[in-house]
Amino acid sequence: MLEEPILVSAVTAYLVLVALLIGSFINLAADRLPRGESVVRPRSHCRSCGRVLDAVDLIPIGGYLIRGGRCASCRASIGISSPAVEALCGAAMLASVAAMGPWRGAALGFAALSMLGGIVLRVALRRAKRGSQPG
Find the binding residues for Zn ion in span 79-98 (CB under 5 A). none
Contact segment (CB under 5 A) with Zn ion among 11-19, 36-44, 45-53, 122-130 equals 45-53
The b-or-e profile of 39-65 (16+ CB within 10 A means b, else e) is eeeeeeebeeeeeeeeeebebbbebbe
Contact segment (CB under 5 A) with Zn ion among 23-31, 46-54, 82-90, 117-125 equals 46-54
Residue (53 or 95) nearer to Zn ion, CB: 53
Bridge partners, 127 (sequence order): none
Q: How far apart are CA 73 and CA 103, in angstroms?
A: 42
- Helix (H/G/I), strand (E/B), else coil: 135: coil
Residue (69 or 101) nearer to Zn ion, CB: 69
- For residue 3, the 8-state DSSP code is T
Q: Does 124 bind Zn ion (CB under 5 A)?
A: no
Residue of 14, 17, 45, 48 that binds Zn ion (CB under 5 A): 48
Contact segment (CB under 5 A) with Zn ion among 5-13, 20-28, 39-47, 60-68 equals 39-47
Shortest Å distance, C-beta 80 to Zn ion: 17
Q: Does 49 bind Zn ion (CB under 5 A)?
A: yes
Q: Examine residue 42 and say whether the peptide bond preceding it is cis (omega within 30 degrees of 0).
A: yes
Q: Does 114 bind Zn ion (CB under 5 A)?
A: no
Residues that bind Zn ion (CB under 5 A): 46, 48-49, 71, 74, 76
